[in-house]
Chains A and B, each alone.
Chain A
Amino acid sequence: MKREFEADFTLKVPPSREASCRNTGYAFGGATRGLVECAGKGCLNQCDREFRQSTNCQMYVSSLISFSVKDSVVIFHGPVGCGAQAHLIDYSVKTFGARRGVRMSGARWFSTNLDEGDVIGGGEAKLRQTIIEADRRFRPTAIFVINSCAPAIIGDDLDEVINNVQSEVSAPVVPIHSPGFKARVFSSAYDVVYHGILQKFAFKPEPYLDYQPFFRSDPDYERKVRDYEYQKSRTVNLYNAWSIGPDDEAEIRRLLEALGLNVRIFVEFKEPDEWRWLGEAALNVCFCHVHDLYFVEFLKKTLGMPYILPNIPIGLSATRNFVKEIADFFGLGEEAERLIAKEEGELKAALEPLAAKIRGKRVLISGGYLRIGATGLFANELGLKVVGFRNFNYDMFGNKLFGELEEKIGNVSNVISTQSSELLNELKTLKPDFAISHPGIGIWLTKAGVPSITLFAQRFPFFGYRGAYALTRRIVRTLANPNYARNLAANVPLPYKEKWYDMNPYHFLVAKDAAVGAANAGG
């Protein structure tokens, strides 16, 4: 499948993903083949629904990278409710920073606390005061200003305020244009955050600030330069994200370092000063390119850094491909084959007795498309029966993975939905024994009696061989005793009428375009 990505980095605000070259879809009911075809045609974003339920918004998702930048401060520009759930992030940033060997200050944030008067008179003055106070109070490494719906509608000019105040504060102030109503596809947040980052920071180290240049008069000058360039040519940058835990990073680092590569991981749990080293690598690779494609494309355009887009390294074949694609780039294909053979041999022997306990069990997987696709591949490798995928959103950059999935496990139910109504309705036909679900989704399955494992949790490993083993053990553990889900289902009502379960789960989908209708029907 041909993949093309284009972006105009000079725009003030990047378009939402449904409006960008991605044509990302946020509503679809069907099966894998229809989904992949529709994404290929670029018409997936023509599908919508007439009954909707609340879900994540790009405003809040934007805060995840922002909080994970070492010693940053986040300002939620809006009424006091926007960002009100940010207290929970604090321990997470600190704990999982520590597990990476990084001492994080935790989630430090402000609300500009806009009231009715501000909505009439404008919130710019308040934002300016907040930026100055944030800088004075914390001396942060960066101040991320996250815009919300109200100021976007009343026309607060974020960039103007930031440009005017920048000379009065020491921290770079980063505009994050992320009002919730501007994007149905909430992963648009990643483009918006990276857009702010790429406007405000440099990605090349500065002589005498970051390093001592070699002197031409040094008799070893040429050798030193050659050595440095050699090391650089063996250096790969990986890009993490909120959903990626310290064990995940450690596992992939372990595998790549075993091949003799230098591994650097950006942008979370680093401070912006460290980002300047980002340019000193031979290759950019995203752990999960749903997050970072916008940014690595920018680095390619501006610094000429190449990138590759392997799928997220979950399970045997995805990890193999991930390591292999990187190794091939560095001409280390054979070494990688040997490493993988050794690792796979060891893991397969360990998995065998576990897989025997769960073979044939039916699993439903929900969340971000790359992660659920890779998890589905692994579930299939384990001998589980994958009965369906529920993507938060979807676009053509998943087609390679889902094409492979269709080949391996067939044309199973494959939808784009965050709605609990559709999920619960679907259970009657899919009949999963358990589910693997993005946080926030699993509760509805559990209430329906289907035990659910989280699709990611920073405290557990998922990536690579050790992640595969850990995930398998969790599946075995979950299936060994589903009593919690059973008890909950027996005692807790669900909010839908009986008749809803007799209707098509995708009853409320509307095709804005005949092609979409056809693809839906084909599914």
Chain B
Amino acid sequence: MTYIERPRFSCMLGGVLATVNSLPRTVPVVHGAQGCGRNLSSAYAQGGYYGGGYCNEHSVPSSNVDESDVIFGGGETLAKELANSFEIIDADLFVITTACMTDIIGDDVKSVLSRFPDRPPSIFIETGGFKGDCYFGYRRFMEELFLQYIPRAERGAGEGKPPRVNLLGLLPGYDPFFRGDLEEIDRLLGRLGVAATTFLTPGQTLAGIREAGTAGLNVIFNRAHGEELGRNLRESHGIDYWLADLPVGAKASGEFLREIARRLKLDPAAAERVARSETGRYYDYVERLSPLVVDFDFQNYAVVVANSTNALPYASYLDNELGWLPTHVYITDQLSEEQREALRTRFGELAFSERPELVFETDTQNIQRHLETSRPQFLSRTYYDRIEPLFILGSTLEYGFAESLSGFHLSVSHPVINRTAVARGYAGYNGGLNLLCDLSDAQVARRV
């Protein structure tokens, strides 16, 4: 792995903290230096201002190891931290993590934990930042959550109950619209009579999360890490998995519902009915916007800069739903060749009117350089084929780039600094409308 200019992701611990701080009544205890818990909380908050949380930033229990701990071992410091955290922190689940320095010096956290036989429910996971990025952290944490906390279902436990699925693969903060996305998918599944565990949205409970073992299917919206996560959870809990694209807009959502029905062996006609009624409502809204779209020619060329979870679904929506022309899709997280191949394969399966170029690039300026060299945008002739009108769906880091190309811009991927996410999502029918609305907003915002 090489250096990166302005990376859009954090470390393994960063991903674990983002996830833990989004679970109900769950509190992390960081065995690390004093800055890790605080800084990494601020890092994921850059996904549309996803700060706050039950116990983060200046509240994260943290052993705050110092130089003497690094030299002599931080086990005793951790033991005190754990004892006192268990005493005063009001949580139903603790997640004990490590950090770079404690992993390097090799503190034996397990033996420290064994000194607390009556401890409240807790999960231990080694999370030295150098071991991987935040997406890897998410995957490893979810695996440990299943292994250490979620009971494997008895055979036949789900019988007589509504079908249940787990929604996995979206990382809080690094998928800035994860809550809106999960809530919308949960709503759609509910219309099919399917119960879903989202883990991360408001209203989830640990009791509910412990039932995740009874699910019939893990739906994983993540093609880079999903295969491994799905396989490992199938091994540990016997749950089948499906690597799905985040369904954005009416077409993708309809396909999603039909596929869910097929995989859960539900009545296909029921899925069809839901899709039809949702699509009807969806186009009622789309139709109202259409005079603007038509009269002002809101069809754009598009450049998508996003992580491996969102880049393909967004590009596909722009092409198949809105009739735009994506020219480049940049995937900004750090991937192995195997993961890239999985994404290339999926990209090949997606329909595009004109196939965009798929590029894997983590480095911020290299993204701009790639576009400017592969399709020169400033030539000293009168007639040449510019990417114009241009719309960049990327992170806030692409704002200046879009401006320099006289294009429009919408922040959809981490870091999202110039807008807030709150309950917004881009998945499903409502998400498709949200995205249409936001893309249009960007184009009318200066009508003042």
Contacts and interface: CB of A to CB of B under 8 A. Distances in A.
Contact of B4 (A50, A80, A90, A179): A80
Interface in A97-119: 108-116, 118-119
A84 B10 contact: yes
A181 B5 contact: no
B88 A500 contact: yes
Given A113-B2, A129-B3, A133-B3, A54 B38 contact: yes
Given A53-B61, A149-B33, A84 B3 contact: no
A52 B61 contact: yes
Contact of A150 (B60, B104, B417): B104
B129 A53 contact: no
A81 B61 CA distance: 19
Interface in B33-62: 33-43, 45-46, 51-52, 54-55, 57-62
Contacts of B7: 80, 84, 111, 113
Contacts of B4: 80, 110-111, 113
Contacts, number: 224
A26 to B, nearest CB: 9
Given A119-B130, A495-B91, A79 B33 contact: no
A353 B27 CA distance: 47
A90 B396 CA distance: 10
Contacts of A150: 100-101, 104, 129-130
Contacts of B85: 51
B398 interface: no
B307 interface: no
B443 interface: no
A115 B130 contact: yes
A239 B128 CA distance: 38
Contacts of B64: 52, 54-55, 184
A57 B38 contact: yes
A182 interface: yes
Contacts of B397: 87
Contact of B34 (A84, A153, A180, A421): A180
A81 B60 CA distance: 17
A480 interface: no
B213 interface: no
A133 B369 CA distance: 14
Contact of A54 (B37, B88, B104): B37
Given A79-B11, A137-B365, A420 B59 contact: yes
Contacts of B67: 181-182
Contacts of A75: 3
A80 B132 CA distance: 9
A302 interface: no
Contacts of A54: 30, 34-38, 41, 57-58, 60-62, 64
Interface stretch (A199-207, A262-270, A436-444, A512-520): A436-444
Interface string B51-91: 11011011111111111011000000000110011011111
Interface string B328-345: 000000100000000000
Contacts of B58: 53-55, 418-420, 440-441, 444
A52 B9 contact: no
Contacts of A420: 57-59
Contact of B84 (A50, A91, A179, A443): A50
Contact of B59 (A59, A84, A421): A421
B1 A115 contact: yes
A79 B88 contact: no
A87 B36 CA distance: 17
B3 A87 contact: no
Chain A CB count within 10 A is highest, among B30, B33, B43, for B33
Nearest to A419: B58
A421 B88 contact: yes
A82 B13 CA distance: 11
B79 to A, nearest CB: 10
A52 B61 CA distance: 6
A78 interface: yes
A506 B355 CA distance: 63
Interface string B84-106: 11011111000000011100110
Interface string A180-201: 1110101000000000000000
Interface in A464-497: 493-497
A126 B1 CA distance: 9
Contact of B35 (A60, A91, A154): A60
A209 interface: no
A181 B62 CA distance: 12
Chain A CB count within 10 A is highest, among B39, B69, B130, B418, for B130
B175 interface: no
B42 A88 contact: yes
A149 B3 contact: no
A508 interface: yes
A63 B162 CA distance: 53
Interface of B: 1-7, 9-14, 27, 30, 33-43, 45-46, 51-52, 54-55, 57-67, 69-70, 80-81, 84-85, 87-91, 99-101, 104-105, 128-134, 334, 365, 396-397, 415, 417-418
Given A84-B39, A150-B129, A496-B90, 19 more contacts: A51-B80, A51-B85, A52-B62, A53-B59, A55-B38, A56-B38, A57-B35, A80-B7, A81-B11, A81-B43, A81-B134, A108-B5, A110-B4, A115-B131, A126-B2, A126-B3, A494-B90, A495-B27, A508-B84
25 contacts: A51-B84, A54-B35, A54-B38, A55-B58, A56-B38, A59-B35, A75-B3, A80-B7, A80-B9, A80-B129, A81-B12, A81-B14, A91-B418, A109-B6, A129-B2, A137-B365, A150-B129, A181-B66, A186-B35, A419-B59, A493-B90, A497-B90, A499-B88, A500-B88, A503-B88
- Top 8 A-B pairs ranked by shortest CB distance? A57-B35, A54-B37, A81-B11, A51-B84, A84-B10, A84-B43, A495-B55, A180-B33
